[in-house]
Chain A
Amino acid sequence: MRWYWIDRFLEFESGRRAKAIKNVSLAEEYLHDNFPYYPIMPASLVIEGLAQTGGLLICEHGQFREKVVLAKVPKVTFYSEAVPGDTLIYTTTVEYIKDEGAMVTATSHKGDALHAEAEIVFAHLNDPRLGSLFEPETFLRMMRLLGAFEVGHAADGSPLRPPAKLLEAVNGTGA
């Protein structure tokens, strides 16, 4: 099972805000266990999608140098259930980014209706032993798959591009 809990970025404003879409589909395996003949997307997976939206935003801001992991959810409120056929729009806004970690406020909308809102805190892990867990290719592939570079903007408003060092790491020596 691939751990993608968002399908595509709609907006990606480096260091500030990102918006992503998550389509809930009966073709997703987990819905047939949760629950049999009564499919509901678990809140934890909505939170994971919000965390991926925000986490990639934080990660890109640091040029993918830091290992950004979900560390804490201080607050989260759900107003309705997400069910097959729903299109969820996740919006995450950066509250702060520091050396040790970051926080975003996040919302999930079904159309105009607020589905959920949360605060999500991330930690920056810099233990060198973790190097092999997070390959640069993984982030680059994820960002490309999700269309971040198609809709994204850097801080100065120019189109978002993968950081040169990341491309080098993926392609070998500066090809």
Chain B
Amino acid sequence: MPTKDEVFQKIQTALVDALGVDEEDVKPEATLVGDLGAESIDFLDIVFRLEKAFDIKIPRGELFPEDILTDSKYVQDGKVTEHGLSELRQRMPFANLDEFSKNPVVQDFGNLLTVADMCRFVEGKVEVTD
């Protein structure tokens, strides 16, 4: 059972390996896309490294809900609808969607996820001791 620190260390290593950034860049408040330069191909790589590091399974769309963001039920005129936002909140309890909800432009969603969100996501899937 890892501690929160150990979870962070392993995520830091996974992001350094996948994105080619320095350890010091991987701060809890850093966004994956904006600060660390992650692109769509990187998400596949990151998910695999997390699965391997924590011995967990991350089904497609669990960490990055691309299925909601590309569904016309939840997106209109490039913005996520109220219905879509509530789906997102349900699917991503580890992320803070308040800022995004103010102006939910789909293109901006990529820049939502922070390293801290990923830590919370993993903590939700493994048993963490403090």
Instruction: Tell me the A residues contacting B by CB distance below 8 Å.
Output: 71-72, 74-75, 95-96, 98-101, 103, 121, 123
Other 18 A-B pairs with CB < 8 A, given A74-B20, A103-B48, A121-B45: A71-B41, A72-B41, A72-B45, A74-B17, A74-B18, A75-B17, A95-B48, A98-B44, A98-B48, A98-B60, A99-B60, A100-B44, A100-B60, A103-B45, A121-B41, A121-B44, A123-B41, A123-B44
Interface contacts (Cβ under 8 Å), in number, total: 26
Write the chain A residue with the least CB distance to B43: A100
Provide the residues of chain A in CB contact with B18, threshold 8 Å: 74
**Are A96 and B48 in contact, CB atoms less than 8 angstroms apart?**
yes
Of B41, B42, B44, most buried by chain A (CB within 10 Å of CB) is B44
* Chain B residues within CB distance 8 Å of chain A: 17-18, 20, 41-42, 44-45, 48, 60
Bound state CA distance, A172 and B44, in angstroms? 37
Shortest beta-carbon distance from A63 to chain B in Å: 21
Q: Which 10 residue pairs of A and B lie closest in terms of their CB atoms, listed nearest first? A: A71-B41, A101-B44, A72-B41, A96-B48, A100-B44, A121-B45, A74-B18, A123-B41, A74-B17, A74-B45
- Kindly state the separation between the CA atoms of A84 and B18 in the bound complex, as whole angstroms: 34
Residue of A75, A99, A121 ringed by the most chain B CB atoms within 10 A: A121
Q: Which residues of B contact A103 (CB under 8 A)?
A: 45, 48
